[in-house]
């Protein structure tokens, strides 16, 4: 299936897969679940936890605190630039 025909969530998963295929030591994800349904968000969290458990270090910027609680081992919060 051409990427242009994928749902928004599956496009995000494809982008994560392309980044992971490069075998990075550190993966930065900027709002990876923005615009996803609750089900897609949960599935993305499970994917990210599996990558983490496989040894990939990630830094994730996200506003969805339910998602953050699902995936995070450490959290830093910025409020008002601090």
Q: The CATH number of the domain where 39 resides is what?
A: 3.40.50.300
Each residue's pLDDT expressed in tens, for the chain with a length of 82 residues: 899 999 888 999 999 999 999 999 999 999 999 999 999 999 999 999 999 999 999 999 999 999 999 999 999 998 898 8
Separate counts of helices (H) and strands (E) for the chain: 3, 2
Domain that holds residue 53: 3-71
71-74: long-range contacts, CB 8 A cutoff, minimum separation 24: 71/45
Q: Tell me, yes or no, whether 78 lies in a domain.
A: no
Is 35 strand, coil or helix?
Answer: coil
Report how many domains make up the chain.
1
Dihedral sign (CA 17, 47, 73, 31) = positive
The pTM of this model reads 0.87
């Amino acid at each position: 299936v051409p990427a242009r025909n994928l749902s928004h969530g599956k496009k995000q998963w494809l982008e994560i897969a392309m980044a992971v295929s490069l075998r990075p030591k550190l993966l930065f994800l900027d709002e990876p679940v923005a615009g996803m349904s609750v089900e897609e968000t949960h599935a993305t969290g499970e994917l990210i936890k599996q990558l983490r458990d496989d040894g990939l270090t990630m830094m994730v910027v996200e506003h969805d605190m339910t998602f953050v609680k699902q995936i995070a081992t450490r959290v830093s919060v910025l409020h008002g630039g601090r």
